[in-house]
Structure 1
Amino acid sequence: MQYIQSPVSTCCYGQACSMASLLLAAGEPGKRYSLPNSSIMVHQPSGGARGQATDIAIHAKEILRVRGRLNKIYQKHTKKHTLADIEKAVERDYFMTAEEALEFGLIDMIMEKRDVSVDEESSTHM
């Protein structure tokens, strides 16, 4: 998304967990939205490996590398936290309300229901 020239708006319409929360946060600054009753969850990557000890060590090293990269991406897009803050937040599943996600810096605005009077006024002018 960072390489698309057009601004990319993101919106959470119910739940954005795991990688979806990263995509939500990576939208164009000022255009990252959530509905008021949505839930957003961040956490560190998970995985599993089998096989020889050497292969398991290779996979463990890779998942730690990915975790470090994802933490830096979250930090870049939230702009409110140190890397240590992000590492602490993603240590376990961390669920947030839309309000908490706004405070955390994952979104920029909580969308509210349209004003009914505006809809009624529009329909009378048709």
Structure 2
Amino acid sequence: MADKEKEEGLLQEVTERNIEHSLLKSRKIFLWSQVDDDSARAVVTRLLSLDAEDSETEIVLYINSPGGSVSDGLAIYDAMQAIGSPVSTVCTGLAASMGAVLLAGGAKGRRFTWPHARIMIHQPLIMGTITGRATDLDIHAREMLKTREEINRLLASHTGQDIEKLAKDTDRDFYMSPKEAKEYGLIDDIVTTIS
């Protein structure tokens, strides 16, 4: 019984790798997790690899992410902006926090959501515990404010919203339906079919 279960597990793993390889060959990348070192490395290396093969053909980045590390998210964002290939973004479930920044950072006219997706923007969060002297905590607080301003500038450049409105909207979790995200300028359209 254990051998059969092991064999089925290996078969499933091989099948999943084959599917992922097939999708990558068709220039489709998935961010289906929290934004962290591992997911950023996977997405950035795939973006760079596909762009090296062909810098004119579209790459599609499917996003279903609660967000995560700002620095790792900005690594993905910067790669998206730096490569020659246009990057289309599609929110398939949730694009929250850095996931929403990545969604908005897709090529103009190529930013989409599926009909029942949710999008959420907010100010950056400190994850974990920060300890130290008062002066060190002050340094961290000032850096967080700079990061918040930078994220708001990026969102403003992609949405057309002014910085003051973004600062107000991102003060707390700000959820949007696909229709609201389109009106806000985070996406360009809502897709119901895949071609």
Structure 1 residue 113, shift from structure 2 partner: 4.0
Question: Percent same amino acid among aligned pairs?
Answer: 44
* Corresponding letter in the other structure for 1:74: L
Higher helix fraction: Structure 1 or Structure 2?
2
> Which residue is equivalent to 1:111?
191
> Which residue is equivalent to 1:95?
175
SS of match in other structure, 1:2:
helix
The answer for unaligned runs of 5 or more in structure 2 is: 1-79
User: Which aligned segments of 4 or more residues in structure 1 are displaced greater than 2 angstroms?
Assistant: none
Of residues 129, 136, 139, the one that matches 1:55 is: 136
Q: Which has the higher contact order (CA 8 A, sep 6+)?
A: 1
> Which residue is equivalent to 1:4?
83
Alignment of 1:25-64 (within 5 A): 25-47=104-126, 48-64=129-145
* Corresponding letter in the other structure for 2:116: N
Structure 1 residue 49, shift from structure 2 partner: 2.2
* CA-to-aligned-CA distance 1:60-79 (integer Å, 9 cap, x gap): 01000100111000000002
TM value normalised by structure 1: 0.86
The answer for unaligned runs of 5 or more in structure 1 is: 115-126
State whether structure 2 residue 128 is matched by structure 1 residue 20: no
How much is the aligned-residue C-alpha RMSD, in angstroms?
1.0
CA distance in 2, matches of 1:96, 1:111: 16
TM value normalised by structure 2: 0.56
